[in-house]
Structure 1
Amino acid sequence: MSLIASLSLLIFFLLLSPPAMSATATDDEPPTAYELLSDYNFPPGLLPKGVVGYELDRSNGKFRAYLNGSCSFSLEGSYQLKYKSTISGYLSKDRLTGLSGVSVKVLLFWVNIVDVVRSGDDLEFSVGIASATFPLDNFYESPQCGCGLDCVNGQVRKLKLNPSVSSI
């Protein structure tokens, strides 16, 4: 898995959107953060399992998602993702910008995922100086803190990478 792929996964998790009504929510029960992502055309797997709350200012898209502590896991055994207990940024249809609280380890360095953009059936993750594009279907399942995408079998699911990796 490439550095860009790892960064993409981090951004997925950052897409925890704060409280707002969605088509799937009732008057008595606000949508989950995962349902809110769907309202903005994103898959639930951008966020890890275990979101305990969120806030969303619909006037400007500013959001905060809360985990029950920091979260980390490995993908394909060599890439590490880390989420702080609070993830924040700006959410709009097909765009997640100004992210903070999600990072990926590239070689020896931790790099922040700063933007995620949906373009058709692909998600592009940016770390500022580079970006990578992944098929949307990589993100239908939310990873779990500690073990990633396959905690039951102890296996790591490999992500598909579109051959679109670029430097800025």
Structure 2
Amino acid sequence: MGSVSDRKATSPLMVFVYAVLINLSSFAYGDVRKPSAYEVLQQYDFPIGILPIGVTGYELNTDTGHFSAYLNGTCSFTIENSYQLEYKSTITGVLSKDRLKDLKGVSVKVLFFWISIVDVVHDGDELQFSVGIVSAKFPVENFEEQPQCGCGLDCNHLSTLLPSYSVGTY
């Protein structure tokens, strides 16, 4: 029977062995971080700015390209003081290299009507957005920055509109 001092001496060794076994098992089972939705877009040659900030999760079937991206709720904003965009809480479509097709959940306001964007193609230095028979091209560099729900790309002006408060003793 071992003494108390023998048990104390083996205790740190047992902790070390246990820690090593846990690390080896996570390595053996491929404990790899899942890329973000934005990183997946980049893997398919799309800029991160085609999705607004705040995607809470996504699903992607790499065999078929079917994807779903999730936001906390509906997200809308204006870009360049002219294009109003709206993202539903769930965005779906088929993702392949340089193309998003069968897109659902993204709309643009044209005059008085909301029209669904159904296709996005990355062609050289441009992204082509299709709403069916009509499409428009924009430079890819316009989508390097992610828009934010409510304010789009012009969110800095909000801080000047909000009152400033200071905490102190009076």
TM-score by length of 1: 0.74
Higher relative contact order at CA 8 Å, sep ≥6: structure 1 or structure 2? 1
1:37 equivalent to 2:41? Answer: yes
Return the offset for 1:124.
0.5
Residue identity (%): 65
More helix by share: 2
Q: How far, CA to CA, are the matches of 1:78 and 1:137 in structure 2?
A: 18
* Structure 2 residue aligned with 1:148: 152
1:60 equivalent to 2:57? Answer: no
CA RMSD of aligned residues (A): 1.3
Return the offset for 1:79.
2.5
- Where structure 2 has 5 or more consecutive residues not aligned to the other structure, the ranges are 1-29, 159-170
1:138 equivalent to 2:138? Answer: no
Return the offset for 1:78.
3.5
Q: How far, CA to CA, are the matches of 1:129 and 1:103 in structure 2?
A: 15
* Structure 2 residue aligned with 1:100: 104
Q: How does 1:115-130 map to 2 (within 5 A)?
A: 115-130=119-134
* Structure 2 residue aligned with 1:71: 75
Q: How far, CA to CA, are the matches of 2:45 and 2:83 in structure 1?
A: 26
- Where structure 1 has 5 or more consecutive residues not aligned to the other structure, the ranges are 1-25, 155-168
Q: How many residues align?
A: 129
* Structure 1 residue aligned with 2:20: none
Q: How far, CA to CA, are the matches of 1:76 and 1:53 in structure 2?
A: 28
Larger Cα-atom Rg: 2
1:89 equivalent to 2:98? Answer: no
Q: How far, CA to CA, are the matches of 1:78 and 1:134 in structure 2?
A: 14
TM-score by length of 2: 0.73
AA aligned to 1:118 is: H
